[in-house]
């Protein structure tokens, strides 16, 4: 038990009987703790004792998720505020910290905000701040964690979810990576964007023309940007609208030619050959090392045999390999000496694009560029 380094508490029942049976002294060397549970008034002293045991000087990663289930008892914010202050005292070596702020309509959060703004983790480099309510409501507009952000100038990576509240301009002078929703892109100042080398944006709907030009102008102001991820995992529009149009891809990528890593979705209307042609062209991505594309294929029955749809579809592998090796693409791809990985996350409709339904087939093909006969060509290294 002395070698336990991680603990995950999920919907834990803080019963007096259970708290009395657990010997928390065996958890004094934990490095990684995740907690998602209520802190009831009846057992607060024992809760504090337990938290003090598991959240000690050895702890480097802590995730406090307060997005409780609907049937959970109301959060006792003043007791949780006590826990926050205790954590600040007992965890001086915390490097990664995540906290989910509950919906103020369900749980009063003012004491939590007061406690949060009073604490500081001197070694913190990663912060994940997530809000469980609606940012545009009166309660959401009153939530204020500015001082907590200002207390952590050492943060280099910041994930910010579900709130449109602007980040203070001088909060993170050493920020290198930011993860957030595109609809909330204005939470960062242009000066902060200029610091970033890694940007992750979640898209929930297709770009409008104005958004393309606005985002392009932001990317142009990011001289240090090397990694760009545009995720579309949670989508509110029709499936047929997923992915960047060819013109959008070109518009955005011309603004950041120093990328070494790119992950994005490509519209089913844009042949992937055009993407290969662009990144390897004179105005493309000469430093690219890893290219991860999510692509959409209509009429998948033409390249995947229905009886073998769950196996590695060699017909589809050859279909994609032939595109990379085509006279149109290969001569330029071969010259991209920095490129070593192409990953295709493929979604397909068996017969036609059904925009209201998710594609019924998904598979990931991973290719590695290898030297063969004096030239570099893609070789399949994985399928899942």
Lowest-confidence pick of 102-106, 224-228, 285-289, 378-382 = 102-106
The predicted pLDDT at position 13 comes to 46
Q: Which one is predicted more confidently, 44 or 8? A: 44
82 and 49 Cβ atoms separated by less than 8 Å? no
Lowest-confidence pick of 14-28, 286-300, 363-377 = 14-28
Domain boundary among 156, 175, 194: 175
Residue 381 lies in a domain: yes
**Rounded Cα–Cα distance for residues 320 and 49 (Å):** 58
Residue 197 lies in a domain: no
The number of distinct structural domains making up the chain is 2
Same domain, 133 and 214: no
Same domain, 169 and 296: no
The predicted pLDDT at position 276 comes to 92
Work out the percent of the chain whose per-residue pLDDT is above 70: 84
Same domain, 312 and 350: yes
The predicted pLDDT at position 243 comes to 92
Q: Which one is predicted more confidently, 318 or 107? A: 318
Tell me the pLDDT tens digit for each residue of 36-64: 766 666 667 777 777 787 888 989 999 98
Residues whose CB falls within 8 Å of the CB of residue 157, separated by 6 or more in sequence, listed in order: 125, 126, 127, 175, 176, 177, 178, 179, 198
Which of 215-219, 272-276, 313-317 has the highest average model confidence (pLDDT)?
A: 215-219
Mean pLDDT across the stretch 2-18? 52
**Rounded Cα–Cα distance for residues 303 and 151 (Å):** 55
Tell me the pLDDT tens digit for each residue of 326-361: 888 888 888 888 999 999 999 888 777 676 678 888
Same domain, 293 and 331: yes
Same domain, 231 and 142: no
In the chain, which ranges are continuous DSSP H helix? Answer: 16-21, 44-54, 77-90, 110-116, 138-142, 146-150, 190-193, 209-220, 246-253, 272-279, 314-324, 330-333
Mean pLDDT across the stretch 92-101? 93
157 and 126 Cβ atoms separated by less than 8 Å? yes
**Rounded Cα–Cα distance for residues 267 and 274 (Å):** 12
- Grouping H, G, I as helix, E, B as strand and the rest as coil, residue 182 is helix
37 and 12 Cβ atoms separated by less than 8 Å? yes
Same domain, 167 and 215: no
> CATH number, domain at 86?
3.80.10
Residues whose CB falls within 8 Å of the CB of residue 302, separated by 6 or more in sequence, listed in order: none
Residue 180 lies in a domain: no
Exposure pattern of 334-363 as b/e (b: 16+ CB <10 Å)?
bebeebebbbbbbbbbbeebeeeeebebeb
The predicted pLDDT at position 41 comes to 60
Tell me the pLDDT tens digit for each residue of 352-370: 767 667 888 888 999 999 9
Same domain, 214 and 284: yes
Which of 67-71, 80-84, 275-279 has the highest average model confidence (pLDDT)?
A: 275-279
Residue 383 lies in a domain: yes
Report the predicted TM-score, pTM, of the whole model to 2 decimal places: 0.90
Residue 359 lies in a domain: yes
The predicted pLDDT at position 4 comes to 59
Same domain, 155 and 217: no
Residue 30 lies in a domain: yes
Residue 118 half-sphere exposure toward CB, CA atoms < 13 A: 14
Residue 181 lies in a domain: no
Average pLDDT, the chain: 84
Mean pLDDT across the stretch 59-79? 72
Asked if residue 10 has pLDDT above 50, the reply is no
Same domain, 92 and 131: yes
Same domain, 79 and 212: no
The predicted pLDDT at position 101 comes to 84
Mean pLDDT across the stretch 283-309? 82
What is the pLDDT confidence band of residue 311, given thresholds at 50, 70 and 90? low
Same domain, 51 and 171: yes
Angle value at C-alpha 199, between 195 and 201, nearest 5 degrees: 140
Residue 188 lies in a domain: no
The whole domain housing 137 covers 1-175
The predicted pLDDT at position 294 comes to 95
Q: Which one is predicted more confidently, 185 or 316? A: 185
The predicted pLDDT at position 75 comes to 59
The predicted pLDDT at position 342 comes to 95
The predicted pLDDT at position 83 comes to 83
The predicted pLDDT at position 190 comes to 94
Mean pLDDT across the stretch 119-147? 84
Same domain, 238 and 162: no
The predicted pLDDT at position 349 comes to 82
């Amino acid at each position: 038990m002395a070698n336990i380094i991680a603990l995950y508490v999920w919907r834990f029942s803080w019963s007096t009987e259970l708290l009395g049976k657990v010997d928390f002294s065996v958890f004094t060397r934990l490095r990684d703790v995740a907690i998602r549970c209520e802190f009831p008034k009846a057992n607060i002293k024992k809760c504090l004792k337990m938290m003090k045991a598991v959240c000690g000087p050895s702890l480097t990663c802590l995730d406090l998720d307060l997005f409780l289930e609907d049937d959970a008892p109301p959060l006792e914010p003043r007791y949780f505020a006590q826990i926050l202050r205790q954590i600040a005292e007992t965890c001086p070596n915390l490097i990664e910290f995540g906290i989910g702020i509950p919906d103020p309509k369900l749980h009063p959060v003012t004491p939590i905000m007061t406690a949060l703004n009073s604490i500081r983790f001197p070694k913190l480099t990663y912060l994940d701040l997530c809000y469980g309510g609606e940012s545009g409501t009166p309660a959401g507009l009153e939530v204020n964690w500015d001082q907590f952000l200002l207390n952590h100038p050492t943060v280099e990576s910041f994930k910010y979810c579900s709130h449109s509240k602007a980040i203070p301009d001088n909060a993170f002078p050493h920020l290198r990576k930011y993860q957030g929703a595109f609809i909330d892109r204005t939470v960062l100042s242009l000066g902060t964007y200029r610091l970033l080398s890694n940007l992750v944006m979640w898209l929930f709907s297709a770009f409008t023309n104005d958004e393309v030009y606005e985002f392009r102008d932001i990317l142009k102001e990011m001289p240090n940007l090397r990694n760009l991820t545009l995720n579309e995992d949670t989508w509110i529009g029709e499936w047929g609208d997923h992915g960047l149009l060819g013109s959008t891809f070109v518009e955005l990528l011309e603004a950041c030619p120093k990328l070494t890593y790119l992950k994005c979705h490509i519209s089913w209307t844009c042949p992937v050959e055009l993407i290969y042609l662009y990144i390897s062209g004179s105005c493309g991505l000469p430093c690219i090392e890893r290219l991860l594309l999510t692509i959409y294929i209509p009429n998948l029955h033409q390249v995947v045999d229905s009886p073998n749809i769950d196996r590695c579809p060699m017909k589809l592998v050859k279909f994609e390999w032939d595109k990379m090796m085509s006279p149109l693409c290969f001569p330029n791809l071969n010259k991209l000496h920095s490129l070593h990985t192409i990953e295709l996350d493929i979604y397909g409709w068996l017969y036609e694009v059904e925009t209201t339904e998710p594609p019924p087939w998904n598979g990931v093909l991973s290719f590695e560029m290898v030297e063969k006969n004096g030239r570099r060509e893609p070789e399949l290294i994985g399928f899942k």
